[in-house]
């Protein structure tokens, strides 16, 4: 999970990809969620008493649950646009 989160964070951090933040505003929420998750992971990864890293509401950065629907909708719009 750390590898995937890190890859997604790097993609979102890349300034070339920031244009998508306007098309899918929740990408910004995902970016800051991943940033916090990765910070917690780095701080806790070597502890033997920690088996899962959780970032939630109490961290003020819950996972943006609607992001998957937003991305699917945007892909649908792009597919339709490519047919026109």
pLDDT score of 37 more than 90: yes
Distance CA 12, CA 6 (A): 10
Mean pLDDT, the chain, rounded, equals 90
Among 32, 56, 53, 31, which Cα is nearest to 42's? 53
Chain segment 47-68, per-residue pLDDT in tens = 889 888 888 778 888 899 999 9
Query: What is the pLDDT, as a whole number, of residue 50?
Result: 86
- Residue spans per domain, the chain: 2-83
């Amino acid at each position: 999970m750390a590898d995937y989160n890190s890859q997604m964070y790097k993609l979102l951090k890349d300034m070339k990809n920031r244009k998508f933040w306007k098309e899918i505003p929740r990408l910004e929420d995902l970016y800051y969620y991943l940033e916090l998750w990765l910070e917690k992971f780095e701080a806790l990864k070597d502890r033997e008493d920690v088996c899962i890293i959780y970032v939630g509401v109490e961290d003020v950065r819950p996972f943006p649950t609607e992001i998957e629907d937003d991305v699917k909708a945007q892909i649908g719009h792009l597919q339709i646009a490519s047919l026109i």
